[in-house]
């Protein structure tokens, strides 16, 4: 696309971050969207490209462990973050939170410095710290020897990140942090998310009251919902907090994903995450904690046979949500764009106006990614 181009882009469907519309045009000046107008109101003879399919803002992923053969824990650097972001950009994710999981204290410190160095880099929205302050009983693939209670070191790192203007999400278990510590973290503006926890619904509600505002990968690595013990899952579904969910048909049954979305008391509280590992855009195996993780029939498993992250993109998650789970297309797109933007306080990332064409996606009728609006070619 020429930098001097100015034309109307008219897709079959347009998702503007709020809802879907047909018969709309987006004015592109140079490489930026500057106006949305009904197609009927576009001047006759104005330069125009008709786009088959759906145009929407690029996807936002709040939990990305790796991509392109790179795992953040083993490459805790700016270059590592850039490589991960570049890998996912190929699949329609234009903004993400690189995610560091439970590890040695020095790894978290290195990743925090990398996140500060990455400030302003396209595609990197901040940092997700998942662990080490979690429950051993629900650690999943997290290394047990590095799991530990919340400490002053992590709190200081979060405060330093926030003082530098870095968006932070931190996943912790209520049994690994006091209410005062949760409140202290939340007061910095960090998104405190509850996950990898075996606690009760009552203690979960106490953590929410202290300042937690989110749940990490609903259903996975948390106490289940039973008839007389709602657990973390029941407390999450009944709350007005946000919750992420992995929609790959492996981590959570498709029926349960649909049930959870329908059961929430408020709309726009569930969002998609990939929980992606280096195999997305990379080889079919990688090392974590010095041990091989391999891809088997779409599942990433460790030597113990436990799930070790996911092998799915946000684009594939959206398509599955609509085509398999049966979620309304508008709801699915909001779960991949609008809601995560709300979670981190970046509503601009869910808009069309002001966005570069490289951050606007084109999806076909099956919701497969065709490319970006930057691929549309020269003005007509």
Instruction: Give 194-250 pLDDT, tens digit per residue.
Output: 999 999 999 999 999 999 999 999 999 999 999 999 999 999 999 999 999 999 999
Q: Do 313 and 364 sit in the same domain of this protein? A: no
Q: Give the H/E segment covering residue 360.
A: strand 360-363
Q: Which structural domain range is residue 42 located in?
A: 6-57+352-375
Quick one: DSSP state of residue 218? T
pLDDT value for 159: 98
The answer as to whether 380 is a domain residue is no
**Total structural domains within the chain:** 2
Q: Is residue 1 part of a domain?
A: no
Q: Any idea which residues carry the catalytic annotation?
A: 275
Do 20 and 108 fall into the same domain?
A: no
Q: Tens-digit pLDDT profile for the chain (380 aa)?
A: 444 479 999 999 999 999 999 999 999 999 999 999 999 999 998 999 999 999 999 999 999 999 999 999 999 999 999 999 999 999 999 999 999 999 999 999 999 999 999 999 999 999 999 999 999 999 989 999 999 999 999 999 999 999 999 999 999 999 999 999 999 999 999 999 999 999 999 999 999 999 999 999 999 999 999 999 999 999 999 999 999 999 999 999 999 999 999 999 999 999 999 999 999 999 999 999 999 999 988 899 887 777 888 999 999 999 999 999 999 999 999 999 999 999 999 999 999 999 999 999 999 999 999 999 998 854 44
Residues 262 and 309 in one domain: yes
Statement to judge: residues 83 and 36 lie in one domain:
no
155 is a domain residue: yes
Same domain? 289 vs 259: yes
One domain, residues 153 and 205:
yes
63 lies in some domain: yes
Domain containing residue 36: CATH number = 2.30.40.10
* 285 within domain boundaries: yes
371 & 279 share domain: no
DSSP secondary structure string for all residues of 214-256: EESSTTTTBPPPBTTB-HHHHHHHHSSSEEEE--SSSSS-HHH
CATH of the domain at 274: 3.20.20.140
Nearest to 353 by CA among 6, 10, 17: 17
The whole-chain average pLDDT of the chain stands at 95
For residues 193 and 304, membership in a common domain is answered with yes
Same domain, 341 and 369: no
Task: Tell me, yes or no, whether 278 lies in a domain.
Answer: yes
> For residues 327 and 319, is the Cβ–Cβ distance under 8 A?
no
**pLDDT (0 to 100) of residue 377:** 57
Pick the closest to residue 198 from 180, 221, 178 (CA basis).
221
Whether this model's pTM surpasses 0.85: yes
Tell me: cis bond preceding 166? Omega within 30 of 0 counts: no
Same domain, 268 and 368: no
Q: CA–CA separation, 303 vs 38, rounded Å?
A: 56
């Amino acid at each position: 696309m020429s930098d001097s181009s100015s034309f109307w882009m008219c897709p079959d469907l347009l998702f503007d971050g709020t809802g879907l519309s047909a018969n709309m045009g987006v004015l592109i000046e140079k490489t930026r969207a500057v106006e949305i107008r009904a197609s009927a109101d576009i001047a006759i003879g104005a330069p125009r490209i008709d786009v088959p399919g759906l145009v929407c803002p690029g996807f936002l992923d709040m939990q990305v462990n790796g991509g392109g053969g790179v795992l953040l824990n083993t490459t805790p650097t700016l270059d590592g973050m850039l490589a991960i972001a570049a890998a996912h950009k190929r699949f329609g994710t234009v903004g993400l939170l690189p995610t560091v999981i439970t590890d040695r204290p020095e790894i978290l410190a290195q990743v925090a410095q990398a996140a500060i160095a990455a400030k302003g880099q396209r595609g990197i929205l901040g940092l997700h710290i998942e662990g080490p302050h979690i429950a051993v009983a629900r650690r999943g693939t997290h290394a047990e020897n590095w799991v530990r209670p919340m400490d002053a070191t992590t709190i200081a790192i979060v405060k330093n990140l926030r003082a530098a203007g870095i968006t932070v999400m931190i996943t912790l278990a209520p049994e690994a942090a006091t209410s005062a510590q949760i409140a202290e973290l939340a007061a910095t503006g960090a998104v405190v998310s509850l996950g990898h926890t075996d606690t009760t619904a009552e203690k979960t509600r106490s953590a929410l009251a202290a300042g937690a505002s989110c749940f990490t990968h609903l259903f996975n690595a948390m106490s289940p919902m039973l008839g007389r013990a709602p657990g973390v899952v029941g407390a999450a579904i009944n709350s007005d907090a946000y919750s992420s969910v992995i929609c790959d048909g492996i981590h959570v049954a498709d029926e349960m994903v649909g049930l959870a979305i329908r059961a929430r008391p408020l709309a726009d509280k569930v969002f998609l995450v990939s929980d992606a590992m280096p195999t997305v855009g990379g080889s079919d195996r990688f090392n974590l904690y010095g041990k091989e993780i391999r891809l088997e029939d779409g599942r990433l498993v460790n030597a113990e046979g436990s799930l070790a992250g996911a092998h799915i993109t946000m684009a594939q998650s959206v398509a599955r949500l609509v085509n398999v789970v049966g979620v309304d297309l508008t709801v699915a797109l909001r779960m991949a764009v609008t809601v995560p933007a709300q979670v981190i306080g970046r509503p601009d990332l869910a808009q069309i106006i002001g966005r570069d064409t490289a951050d606007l996606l084109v999806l076909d009728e099956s919701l497969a990614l065709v490319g970006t609006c930057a691929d549309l070619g020269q003005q007509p």
